[in-house]
Amino acid sequence: MVKARGTSRRAVMAGAAAVALLPGVGRAQAWPSRTITLVVPFAPGGGTDTFARPFAAKLSQQIGQQVVVDNRAGAGGTVGAALVAKAKPDGYTVLLGSVHHSVAVSAYKKLSYELEKDLAPVTSVASVPDVLVIYPEVPAKTLQEFIAYCKANAGKVNYGSAGLGTTRHLAGEIFNAKTGTAMTHVPYKGTGPATAALISGEVAAVFEGLGSAAPYIRSGKARALAVFSAERSPAFPDIPTAAEAGLPGFESLSWYGLWVPAGTDPGIIAKLQADVAKCFDSADLKKIWLEQGASPGGALRRLREGGDRQVGQGRSRQQHHS
């Protein structure tokens, strides 16, 4: 009996060792064992960064390892995306990107990476409607008054965005085309710098996510004219939709999601997906997202489908879903 038990134990140990030697199994079981870098491809204070900070803190608690936010701004978010695309596929470098990355290929002639080929989608983090905010001293209280102001000052009104080729840049140009205005685009290295330019009066308007604009709207440093969603935001019920404000058919919804370098072990991706889903089960993170007018993430399907929806429907309706 003793000999049989010994033989059985050796067989079990041999089997376990064989499983551990299978490609990726050991890595997935050991992950994470050290700090994870969460690359945010825009400057601090922008929409992506607004969600990244509380998310990183919650994820750190969930996985028992530190998650450090690393802002790598530039070229409409493509600098940070390229950095992650070229990183070692070990699960320790993660991109918190956004809808901008799904349209960058159309805005830039040459990119050093391919979103579909060099990055693997993990899961969504948030979706939020965009909003048009203006400098409080601009003499316009409504969207129609702002449109009239822009027409009366053709070529003299500037609007800021998170950078060339971003969805907020496209929203501004579609707005110009649909309303017959001629605002001048001023690109920045992220929504944070663009918003700073707005509250200082450097630009008259900014198209941005409701999440990053929320504190400035509440403080009165920026005036919201319309939210670009089908319905009003529960977080800001006093802000009319574009349709209610006299601009029907104009919607702009931004989503944020996670990617890892292509070639990352599927087991690691699956574990990260599960950990993120658990993060969004927490009441405190849900509360933060609600206060920013955002819907929580956690769905891989939405992230994969998000890139398929770009500016369309007569170039007056911009739909992006997470």
As a whole number of Å, the end-to-end CA separation of the chain is 60
pLDDT of 300: 59
- CATH superfamily of this structure's domain 34-128+253-318: Bordetella uptake gene, domain 1 (3.40.190.150)
The answer to whether residue 318 scores a pLDDT higher than 50 is no
Q: What are the structural domain ranges in the chain?
A: 34-128+253-318, 129-227
pLDDT of 283: 94
Provide the whole-model pTM. 0.74
pLDDT of 307: 40
pLDDT, tens only, 169-227? 888 999 999 999 999 999 998 888 999 999 999 999 999 888 889 999 999 999 999 99
pLDDT of 28: 66
Work out the pLDDT band at 159, boundaries 50, 70, 90: very high
pLDDT of 26: 52
Q: In this structure, are residues 142 and 309 in contact, taking their beta carbons and an 8 Å threshold?
A: no
Average pLDDT rounded to a whole number, residues 301-316: 39
- Identity (one letter) of the amino acid at 137? E
pLDDT, tens only, 83-129? 999 999 999 999 999 877 776 666 667 888 988 899 999 999 998 89
Higher pLDDT, 224 or 25: 224
How far is the C-alpha of 57 from the C-alpha of 60, rounded, in Å? 5
How far is the C-alpha of 172 from the C-alpha of 168, rounded, in Å? 6
pLDDT of 206: 96
- Residue 322 has what DSSP assignment? -
Nearest alpha-carbon partner for 203 in 178, 172, 180: 172
Higher pLDDT, 251 or 135: 135
The answer to whether residue 14 scores a pLDDT higher than 60 is no
Higher pLDDT, 11 or 266: 266
Per-residue tokens: 254:
């931004």
- In this chain, the answer to whether the domains covering 34-128+253-318 and 129-227 adopt an identical fold is yes
Residue found by looking up tokens 């990352």 in the block:
264
Cα maximum dimension of the chain: 96
Mean pLDDT of the chain: 84
Work out the pLDDT band at 168, boundaries 50, 70, 90: confident
How far is the C-alpha of 264 from the C-alpha of 87, rounded, in Å? 10
pLDDT, tens only, 258-287? 999 999 999 999 999 999 999 999 999 999
Would you identify the CATH topology of the domain 129-227?
D-Maltodextrin-Binding Protein; domain 2 (3.40.190)
Higher pLDDT, 138 or 212: 138
How far is the C-alpha of 270 from the C-alpha of 254, rounded, in Å? 24
pLDDT of 27: 58
Q: Which residues pair with 260 in a beta bridge?
A: 120
